[in-house]
Amino acid sequence: MKKTLGHREVLKGISFDVQVGDIFGYLGPNGAGKTTTIRILLGLLRADSGSVSILGADIDDTATRMKIGFALDPDGLYDTMTAAENLEYYAQIYDVKDAAARIEKVLGLVGMAERAGDSVGTFSRGMRQRLSLARAMVHNPEVLILDEPTAGVDPSGQIEIRKILLDIARQEKKTVLFSSHNLDEVQRICNRIALIDRGEIKLYGELEELRRKMGKSGVIIEIAGAVPENFFGELKERPRFGFRGMSEKSLVFEPDEGSASVGDIVNFLVARGVMIEKVGKSEASLEELYTAILEEVEQ
Ligand SMILES: Nc1ncnc2c1ncn2[C@@H]1O[C@H](COP(=O)(O)OP(=O)(O)O)[C@@H](O)[C@H]1O
Ligand SMILES: [Mg+2]
């Protein structure tokens, strides 16, 4: 899908699939286009081109809408009403059967049962975010779409929300898509991710697979000829080089940051009479890619 807002092409051709049962992390720095994408997914904004399909149906179908729960920023909670009253209001909108029991259940899910009768205006950001989650769940949807559910929440509150998201996905068997600018968070709880940067998807797929593919950043040194006697024994005595192995004519090193430079390793090899053909860097890690994207955005 594509979207231009004002004169800016905010989404330059975004495409991804979320599969049933996923905890899908939509990761990207501020301004990347996450909220715009989510608003389009929810039918609150029209894409200029492209289409959205949720559970195989159009988002504009009422039946589809009933299968989706969402939480956005601002949270749209009524400050003068209690937590329970807010949920009752939404339960009515969604025509929830046996609303009282469902409200009790979702308040329990987000650890807010004791605060049911308290006015939302007195709640911390973390409590509001949890109540938003409860509201998103009130009509027992199949899919949850959440825009930065931990934004502005203190670290312990973030841990609680992540735990709730995991519980919801596993125990309640919900498919969850949420956005975040926090790589660490996404790595902790998601099985699949898309990384968006300035309106483009930079990386997309199974998290484990992406991590494996990207590997740890390292140095690959191609050599000619044989290595001297006891070469590997000497390497073993230099753990800071992070020697990982040799394949064909390539030596692979993954030194820890700040422990050994490429120059240190090359000097060592030259001193041992090893002929160097080529020095290269292995692919960057997910962390490095994301850090590089963040640095570019800041400029
Ligand atoms: N209504 C708008 N008019 C013009 N530009 C907008 C509008 N809404 C968002 N943008 C711009 O679109 C880009 C993406 O915004 P957004 O989707 O909110 O990013 P994110 O949620 O990833 O922080 C930003 O550069 C933002 O300034
Ligand atoms: Mg946003």
Q: Which two tokens mark 87?
A: 């949920």
DSSP 241: G
Q: How far is the CA of 53 from the centre of ligand 2 (A)?
A: 21
d(CA 145, CA 68) in angstroms, rounded, equals 7
Is the minimum distance from the CB of 31 to ligand 1 under 6 angstroms? yes
- What is the atom index within ligand 1 of the atom nearest the CA of 7? 4
Instruction: Say which DSSP state 82 is in.
Output: B
Confirm or reject: Cβ of 199 under 6 Å from ligand 1. no
Ligand 2 center to residue 258 CA distance, Å?
35
pLDDT at position 299, please?
59
Among the ranges given (42-46, 49-53, 190-194, 291-295), the one the predictor scored with the smallest mean pLDDT: 291-295
Q: How far apart are CA 57 and CA 14, in angstroms?
A: 19
| CB 32 near ligand 1, within 6 Å | yes
Helix (H, G, I), strand (E, B) or coil at 287: helix
CA distance 94 to 47: 26
**Which of the given ranges, 181-185, 207-211, 257-261, has the highest pLDDT on average?**
181-185
- Residue 70: pLDDT band with limits 50, 70, 90: very high
Sign of the CA dihedral running 129, 134, 136, 142: positive
Per the prediction, the chain carries an average pLDDT of 92
Q: Give CA separation, 299 vs 195, 203, 295, in Å.
A: 19, 21, 7
- Is the pLDDT reported for residue 21 higher than 90? yes
Q: Is 34 in the pocket of ligand 1 (CB under 6 A)?
A: yes
Distance CA 94, CA 101 (A): 15
Q: Which helix (H) or strand (E) holds 201?
A: strand 200-206
Polymer length in residues for the chain: 299
From the CA of 33, how far away is ligand 2's center (Å)? 7
Strand-pairing partners, residue 38, are: none
Whether 5 lines ligand 1, by a CB cut-off of 6 Å, is yes
Whether the Cβ atoms of residue 282 and residue 217 lie closer than 8 Å to each other:
yes
Question: CB atoms < 10 A from the CB of 277, how many?
Answer: 11
8 Å CB contact between 195 and 201: yes
Cis check for the bond before 239: say yes or no (omega within 30 of 0).
no
36 lines ligand 1 (CB under 6 A): yes
User: Atom 1 in ligand 1: which residue has the minimum CA distance?
Assistant: 5
69 ligand 1 Cβ < 6 A: no
Q: Which of 213, 191, 166 has the alpha carbon at shortest distance from 25? A: 191
| Contact between residue 254 and residue 187 where contact means Cβ atoms under 8 Å apart | no
pLDDT score at 271: 94
Q: Which of 100-109, 138-147, 255-264 has the lowest mean pLDDT?
A: 255-264
Average pLDDT over residues 59-72: 93
What ligand has the least distance to the C-alpha of 4? 1
Q: Does the Cβ of 194 fall within 6 Å of ligand 1? A: no
Q: Look at residues 265, 260, 280 and name the one whose alpha carbon lies nearest to residue 234.
A: 265
- Return the residue matching tokens 């909108």: 93
Residues in CB range of 171: below 8 A, 6 or more apart: none
Pocket mutation for ligand 1, best pick of 1, 2, 4, 10 (most atoms within 8 Å of C-beta):
10
If residue 264 lies in a helix (H) or strand (E), which one and from where to where?
helix 262-271
Atom number in ligand 1 closest to CA 196:
22
pTM, two decimal places: 0.80
| Pick from 184, 107, 99, 198: nearest CA to 150 | 184
Provide the token pair at 107: 């308040």
